[in-house]
Structure 1
Amino acid sequence: MTDNRRFLLRRRPQGEPVAQDFELVTEPKPSIADGQFLIRNHYASLDPAMRGWMDDADSYMPPIPLGAPVRASTIGVVEESRAEGFVPGQWVMGLHAIEDYSVSAAGGFTQPIDPAIVPSVTNYLSLFGAVGMTAYFGLLEVCEPKAGETVLVSGAAGAVGSIVGQLAKIQGCRVVGIAGGAEKCARLVDRYGFDAAIDYRGKDEAALVAAIAKEAPNGVDVIFENVGGIVLDAGLMNLNMHARVGLCGLISEYNSPEPVGARNLWRLIVKRASIRGLLVADYVARFGEGAAKMGEWAAQGRIVVDEHIDDGIEHAFDAFMRLFSGTNQGKMILRIA
């Protein structure tokens, strides 16, 4: 290819993104300078966090500049290189963008990967990527589950939540998941081994509080939170003494014009519980450790991972919006090449 298709952010979304916020353009394939290498992107990871990067707001990463391609984790193949340690034909993973070609440099976040040691190279965007490592370090180090405890996972059918639930079972916990729809709830129990699943659809906060209490009659020791809003508020009403809440995401609030926030934080005082935000970037230096354990458990059949792959950069917007409509069945990935 001599062209570079790029999925650009043209304006800041106001609430839920619309197609007009983006533009697919075709530009010449970029050239590289000394110390750089050119990557032909094959797959891009689509994640809820990308919605926050589109806002002009203070965060753990700078906003995506208007007119720039949408930032995303990608895996691809080095096509040209003028950088030591990177050679043409080598597979790499890094934080790039939704585009055919990305320019990277030695010494950055981009790292070589070996597709021969995993069932599918896309596993580097799921089990062995930021998703799997978020679940591994977020649950085991931030939430510190103990055998016999009850773990509540919101957004449990999502890429991170489904792995969290399985890891909690490996730790000997009772696991209750919250998801949207009967099909996803059935998958939590039948495929991922959750002890119970709660369908949040059609339930107000009081109904969710009651549903959690029914499935966790002895209370909740750990909440792994991906949703926020009334889902988090309902979980807080079921806390045990000295419970731990790991705050991974707030997907129900990402498209809200005004912040929603949690109203039942007072329960942390009553139960002497703690809440802690978690970000996988804090554990990059230990990814090898986490990947080794995850690979071991996957080989034993104790962890299963589903991936939902949509084809074509021209479908980037529709694929991204699956994250908010809940129509994806597993880790959302876009096949670019």
Structure 2
Amino acid sequence: MTDTSTSPSTSTQVQLVRRPTGRPVPEDFRTVQIELPPLGVDEVRVANEFLSVDPYMRGRMNDVKSYIPPFALDETMTGGAVGRVVESRAESLPVGTPVRHMLGWRDVAQAEADSFSPVEEIPGASLSAHLGILGMTGLTAYVGLTAIADVREGDTVFISGAAGAVGSAAGQIARLLGASQVIGSAGSAEKVTVLTGKYGYDAAINYKDAPVRDQLPEHVPDGVDVFFDNVGGDHLEAALDVMNDGGRIALCGAIASYNAERPAPGPDNLANLITRGLRMQGFTLGGYVDHAPEYQRRMAEWFPAGDIPQDETVVDGIENAVEAFLGMMDGANIGKMLVRTV
């Protein structure tokens, strides 16, 4: 048993109390203080340092069947987090071990040791990188480009939501995998500048300036070979217009519709899938975790070499986690949106 004199005995946690209709509002959530019980055998207590808030969490707020169960009402929500063990009854995870886990939306997590995975501390990098480019975010981008879209040397790649966590990773990874041209979309002039000035995009469009369908063709006169979609809606429709024969579309997200109160009409040009021999496939990361070792080997070369710059938008305080989530859904972030709890 370890010394527990500095181990927190309470946990501040965020719960869902009402299923949102349309855009979530703060009243759909509540923050509670939970008294933690003494550790059981093989349990650990972790002080979270960063929590991840992600678009997929909006879907879990609906009581519908999906690839992951919905959040239960009046219970603490979950999500990615990183922190350090502050109390332990597990030999495998001594005090001080940095870990990644899925017990987010709280500042202190307690569970059996196998709920936590140790992570490597990388010189010059925050633990938060394990929630972004070194974690599921980066792996999602890699899987979408390789296992789903089969990106090839010389491809022209279009990425929607390009300034977000997955999008910013996907653009850089596409280039490292041999894409000759990478085009992105974002929702502000500032984000467009970041895409072309920092992330190496050849061009980027601000979808708020004019319809994507009107803007995209001038940037891809020779068409698009791979479309990595985080947005859906008008972006998917615009991409279908300019896809080359044999093009591949990876559907990663559809944030444009997550707060919709009724289904939106589908693209009016789906027939291009037939006439151009396109392949369009949706995916979630759960079915492709076997690609993680391959990604980690590649990232072990790319990340230390500085080939993957990253941005984080950090909101301080567990009490501001809902604000961070709502901001992320409104596009307030560049790169990964995180909540810093310490």
- TM-score of the superposition, structure 1-length normalised? 0.94
Alpha-carbon distance change, 259 to 112 in structure 1, aligned in 2, over 3 angstroms: same
Between 99-108 and 60-69, report the one with greater CA deviation.
99-108
Contact kept in structure 2, 1:75 and 1:92, CA below 8 Å: yes
Task: Report the equivalent of 1:227.
Answer: 231
The match for 1:281 among 286, 291, 300 is 286
1:20 aligns to 2:27 (yes or no): yes
The match for 1:35 among 32, 42, 59 is 42
Q: Deviations over 1:172-192 (max 9, x none)?
A: 321110111111111111111
Shift of 1:269: 1.1
RMSD value, Cα: 1.6
Q: Deviations over 1:251-286 (max 9, x none)?
A: 111110112253232221121101111222223344
Task: Report the equivalent of 1:102.
Answer: 109
In 2, Cα distance between the equivalents of 1:187 and 1:104?
Answer: 40
Shift of 1:313: 0.7
Equivalences for residues 69-80 of structure 1 within 5 A: 69-80=76-87
The match for 1:310 among 311, 315, 336 is 315
Contact kept in structure 1, 2:80 and 2:102, CA below 8 Å: yes
Task: Report the equivalent of 1:296.
Answer: 301
- TM-score of the superposition, structure 2-length normalised? 0.93
Task: Report the equivalent of 2:65.
Answer: 58
Shift of 1:84: 4.4
Contact kept in structure 2, 1:154 and 1:177, CA below 8 Å: yes
Q: Deviations over 1:18-48 (max 9, x none)?
A: 0000001112124332232222211101111
Contact kept in structure 1, 2:157 and 2:179, CA below 8 Å: no
Contact kept in structure 2, 1:138 and 1:278, CA below 8 Å: yes
Task: Report the equivalent of 2:130.
Answer: 124
Contact kept in structure 1, 2:47 and 2:84, CA below 8 Å: yes
Between 112-121 and 234-243, report the one with greater CA deviation.
112-121
1:242 aligns to 2:246 (yes or no): yes
Contact kept in structure 2, 1:145 and 1:173, CA below 8 Å: no
Alpha-carbon distance change, 116 to 299 in structure 1, aligned in 2, over 3 angstroms: closer
Shift of 1:158: 0.7
Task: Report the equivalent of 2:5.
Answer: none
One-letter amino acid matched to 2:262: E
Q: Deviations over 1:196-247 (max 9, x none)?
A: 111110423xxx2232111001111110000011111111111111110000
Contact kept in structure 2, 1:228 and 1:262, CA below 8 Å: no
Contact kept in structure 2, 1:310 and 1:335, CA below 8 Å: yes
In 2, Cα distance between the equivalents of 1:187 and 1:82?
Answer: 46
Instruction: Give the match's secondary structure for 1:8.
Output: strand
In 1, Cα distance between the equivalents of 2:150 and 2:237?
Answer: 21
Shift of 1:53: 1.1
Q: In the comparison of the two structures, how many residue pairs are matched?
A: 333
Unaligned residue ranges in structure 2 (runs of 5+)? 1-7
Contact kept in structure 1, 2:145 and 2:151, CA below 8 Å: yes
Task: Report the equivalent of 1:252.
Answer: 256
Among the aligned pairs, what percent are the same residue? Answer: 38
Instruction: Give the match's secondary structure for 2:250.
Output: strand
Contact kept in structure 1, 2:60 and 2:71, CA below 8 Å: yes
In 2, Cα distance between the equivalents of 1:164 and 1:267?
Answer: 24
